[in-house]
Amino acid sequence: MHKYKITLEYDGTEYVGWQRQENGISIQAALEKALEKLTLEKVKVFAAGRTDAGVHAKGQVVHCDIKKKF
């Protein structure tokens, strides 16, 4: 397993915030879906902080474990 650090910048206008929620699409869910397409494995990401609905981010740090080495 390899640990990866990802630094994000995003426009949160259309999202319910960072954390996965039942009432809409979150940044976390969108990122995990994209990583699953890239790696062909289920990936869970962990953030150093969170944002609320509609909030933008610049320099948000997350990490994940992926079997594949890039």
Residue type, 45: V
Per the annotation, the verdict on 11 as an active-site residue is no
Q: What is the pLDDT of residue 23?
A: 92
Task: Give residue 37's pLDDT.
Answer: 97
Confidence class for position 51, pLDDT limits 50, 70, 90: confident
Considering the candidates 52, 56, 63, 65, report the single residue annotated as catalytic.
52
**Please, which pLDDT band fits residue 52 given cuts at 50, 70 and 90?**
confident
Tokens 């494995």: give the residue: 41
Q: Is the pLDDT of residue 3 over 90?
A: yes
Cβ atoms 50, 69 nearer than 8 A: no
Tokens of 60: 């948000």
SS3 65: strand
The predicted model scores a pTM of: 0.90
- Supply the DSSP symbol for 60: E
Segment holding 38, helix H or strand E: helix 27-39
CA 45 from chain center: how many Å?
6
pLDDT at 68 (0 to 100): 87
